[in-house]
Amino acid sequence: MGKLFLYLISIFWIIIGALSVFATDLVRKKFFNRLLKKKDMKKLAPIPIAIGILLFLSASANNHAIIVILIGILAIAKGVMIIVAEDKMQKITDWWLKSKDNAYKIWGVVIILLGSVVLMGIK
């Protein structure tokens, strides 16, 4: 179960990262704008919490377990922040919606690297 989840999430990250770098406008309009313009962000909070828990539980199936655990903790923290500090998360959301293409491209490269590290570390 842990290996399968790590394969799926790392491939998902690599695809989203590549799209962010090479099809920035598509990612901005079709993915981020639709996702981030939700009126009630609290409905999205269980998603990063669940992903964080799954990453935490899957860490033993990866040679870079500490990285997977840290990403899991950050994901859980993001979900909790959406619930308890919705106003701060709205400021972050507004920043993402107004950011330039270069921010999406840089973040895309980071996501590709993270996905690659997780994918290559699977035991």
pTM above 0.75, yes or no: yes
Separation of alpha carbons 41 and 57, rounded Å = 25
Would the pLDDT of 117 be above 90?
yes
Encode pLDDT of 88-107 as tens digits.
887 887 787 788 889 889 99
Which amino acid appears at position 69 of this protein? I
Q: Report residue 75 as tokens.
A: 């994901």
Encode pLDDT of 13-60 as tens digits.
999 999 999 998 888 777 777 766 666 778 888 999 999 999 999 999
* 62 φ/ψ angles, rounded to the nearest 5 degrees: -130, 140
Mean pLDDT of 6-11: 96
Structural domain boundaries of the chain?
Answer: 2-120
Per-residue pLDDT, 101:
85
